[in-house]
Chains A and B, each alone.
Chain A
């Protein structure tokens, strides 16, 4: 027997009906610990679906506060949450949805000094960050720690998503060996984003996370899903592990965590952002 209450059996009944989930799978979800980095555009839908799915523990990292302009896509947060820390507003939203989920807020910026300790506590990491510095840092840390990382990026009408399973497929650096220099791609500057692309990509991240935990199906490992929302087109391209990859290759040259100084928030186009550091906030 599983340790489910009657309410839980009803709440998760549509899961339990699925042969790929069942009581055993639902129990796995309940025992799982998922860390979501960024409570923004991607983190919002990912967190909602993971909480609804009954993931036992959801950690959320974000140092930012809710801004009115976030609400167009960051659906964890409400109008009345403007000015409050995103991790607090996220916790409220997720606990309202499913009080059976334990939400652990981390109100700080992910950096080279704290990332290893943090990811060690979790089974799957979801990348919902807005900048390349944190993205590469998280990739390198997850490769070193052997933690699966579900990565997605969004910009304007485009989205990319892949699932990194260290040792089993390519990492982010295998696919994109180096981050672009500041300003080459408007990752920090305001380039605009259509709200619903965040919903699509974040939801795919939740799906990938659930599959990883259940051990079912095929994850987006070794392939990259490229979404062009303007054209209404999903395509996938292959991604191979690079034997010369500096972090997961045969002779890794990155053996300690490095943080790129991609302080485009400061230098790039004088964008005048309120947050000085390159990481932390979520898209």
Chain B
């Protein structure tokens, strides 16, 4: 099952700058596993230490929140679009700080 995955700006350092990648999997969880094999670090970004999806990262399949469906077990069909959308609060008001994180 090939799906398209939209990568948020904050995770593109993992995908070599790609905003959209294709991945294989019958469920959302399988897609994340496939992504992590090819782009190590994806799982660490989306899952917490207990292996649960992080509460500030939302995942949508064809624009619908997977929490409204079957979560990570939400089944996927060929051509589906999976979007990863993290909460964002804002950007750098305190400009003189030079620190930049790119996890």
B50 at the interface (CB under 8 A from A): no
Contacting pair A283 B91 (CB below 8 A):
yes
Number of B positions contacting A (CB below 8 A): 35
B95 touches which of A129, A132, A190, A198 (Cβ 8 Å): A190
Cα A45 to Cα B41 with chains together (Å): 37
B85 touches which of A130, A160, A270, A281 (Cβ 8 Å): A160
Distance in Å: Cβ of A226 to nearest Cβ of chain B: 6
B5 at the interface (CB under 8 A from A): no
- 8 Å CB contacts to B: which residues of A171-227? 175-180, 183-193, 198, 224, 226
C-beta contact mask, A139-172 vs B, less than 8 Å → 1, else 0?
0000000000000011111111000000000000
The residues of B that contact A159 with a CB separation of less than 8 Å are 88
User: Contact residue range for chain A?
Assistant: 35 or more
Closest chain A residue to B97, Cβ basis: A271
Contacting pair B55 A176 (CB below 8 A):
yes
The residues of A that contact B90 with a CB separation of less than 8 Å are 40-42, 128-131, 153-155, 187, 282-283
Interface segment, one of A11-19, A99-107, A113-121, A232-240: A232-240
Contacting pair B93 A282 (CB below 8 A):
yes
B73 at the interface (CB under 8 A from A): no
- 8 Å CB contacts to A: which residues of B60-93? 60, 63-65, 67-68, 83, 85-93
Cα A270 to Cα B99 with chains together (Å): 8
